[in-house]
Amino acid sequence: MSTAFEIAKRISFQKQKNYTRFIVRLSIAATAISVAAILLTFSIVNGFQATIANKVYQFWGHIRVASVSGEPMKQDANTLAAFQKNKAVKYSSPFVSQSTVLSFEQDIEGVVARGIPASTPIPFLKKGKGWTTPTKDSILNEIIISDNIAKKLNIQLGATVRLYFLNTGAVQQRKLKVAGIYHSGIEEYDNQFVLVDIKLLQQLNNNELVEGYSIVLNENASIDATTLAIQKLLPENWVATSIKNYYPQIFDWIGVQTINRNVTITIMLIVAIINLLTCLFIIMLERITMIGTLTALGASPNFIRKIFLFQASFICWTGILLGTFIGLGLSYLQAKTGWIQLDESAYFIKELPIQMDAVQIISVLIGTAIISYVSFLLPTLWIKKISPAKAIQFD
């Protein structure tokens, strides 16, 4: 064990109460708080961005295929099969949307009926088992409504509602059974959309045209790369577009969180650096007599610098490890219990979401350590300017 390390350990962890001991503990606490705050910021922003984006993807898919002009398209089984050959694609389904009026007892509500195949997974299903399994070529007279609409019109699961469609100047009515209630947390969707069998809307329109295709990707698949790959498979006048381009306001809002994250992390790092610089300067000033004595005994500036770098390392790594424990501990606690609640009408989610990333955690630890060591070198440059005679008389 080096002599410099032993000296640094003794002055850092000596038991008697003194000013140095207080400064060391204060610096450790400040470093721990900074690291914990950075880790929490990463976890919260990651969770927030992923949760909101996934809500949109679950409802609309990651990619939408439609005609260039926006006109209805003919269903193409070969093209649909070609989508599924892409390993990034989880499933794809056609859809049709049509404005309608939903009626229950004496109440009515203007909504948009979104027709999807009965075999398509129902997003955000909260109550009920969803649609019954249809027989071949049969049309399901069932509907999935949101809990917002259910509460507003006092509709219970299993109730029968009416949908009124205006087609070619005539009003057409359909009675449908409420087979499920969904809740996405995004009011724009929950207040507007109901889900029905796509065959129901095609029957009303007397055709088998579709508005487009929703394509859902596997986890961690590249949306942009898959969009380009799918575009190459499409017939003329068909276009594949990332769902981000259809709802830029939501994804721009999600992107703003990255800016907020970076600003917060920068502030925390500046606070940590200033704290460590101040701490080491104070410790060196308090130990100026020791510096003069060691210099008079023949110790080189590099030897003395090592003492304070070792001492700074104790502070740095103790703070980093303590901050990591606090940051990850609070993140894990929130992920498991959801004890921090949010206003769902404002944030689209009820609980503060958490998503921890191993690469980010390791980067925070290594990055903080590197920045800290670079900061530690600045005060130690002052050692060469200390005169042994004046330093010994400093007391």
- Sort strands 107-116 and 73-74 into parallel, antiparallel or unpaired: unpaired
Burial class (CB in 10 A: 0-12, 13-18, 19+), 16: exposed
Residue with tokens 């006048």: 237
Tens digit of pLDDT for each residue in 187-202? 889 999 999 999 999 8
Token pair in block for residue 104 = 């229950």
- Smallest Cα–Cα separation from 328: which of 32, 40, 44? 40
Query: Which residues, other chains included, contact 330 with Cβ-Cβ below 8 Å and sequence gap of 6+?
Result: 36, 40
Tens digit of pLDDT for each residue in 266-311? 888 888 888 777 777 777 776 667 766 766 777 676 777 777 777 7
Residue with tokens 């487009």: 212
* Amino acid 133: pLDDT: 74
Residue pair 212/63 in contact (Cβ under 8 Å)? The answer is no
Query: Which residues, other chains included, contact 165 with Cβ-Cβ below 8 Å and sequence gap of 6+?
Result: 98, 100, 113, 171, 172, 173, 174, 204
> Quick one: how far is CA 48 from the chain centroid?
4
Q: Report how far residue 185's alpha carbon sits from residue 270's, in angstroms, rounded to the nearest whole number.
A: 37
Query: Which residues, other chains included, contact 76 with Cβ-Cβ below 8 Å and sequence gap of 6+?
Result: 235
* Amino acid 162: pLDDT: 93
- Sort strands 193-197 and 107-116 into parallel, antiparallel or unpaired: parallel
Give backbone dihedrals phi and psi of 235, rounded to 5 degrees, phi first: -65, 170
* Amino acid 329: pLDDT: 93
- List Cα–Cα distances, 17 to 11, 256, 320, in angstroms: 11, 48, 24
- Smallest Cα–Cα separation from 155: which of 103, 90, 115? 103
The model scores a pTM over 0.85: no
Q: How far apart are the first and last CA of the chain?
A: 31
Residue with tokens 């992390």: 265
DSSP secondary-structure letter at 244? G
* Amino acid 18: pLDDT: 58
Please give the average pLDDT of every successive group of 10 residues along the chain, which has 395 residues. Answer: 68 60 80 90 92 91 89 81 86 91 91 90 88 77 93 92 86 91 90 93 87 91 91 86 89 88 87 78 71 69 74 83 93 89 84 90 88 74 58 53
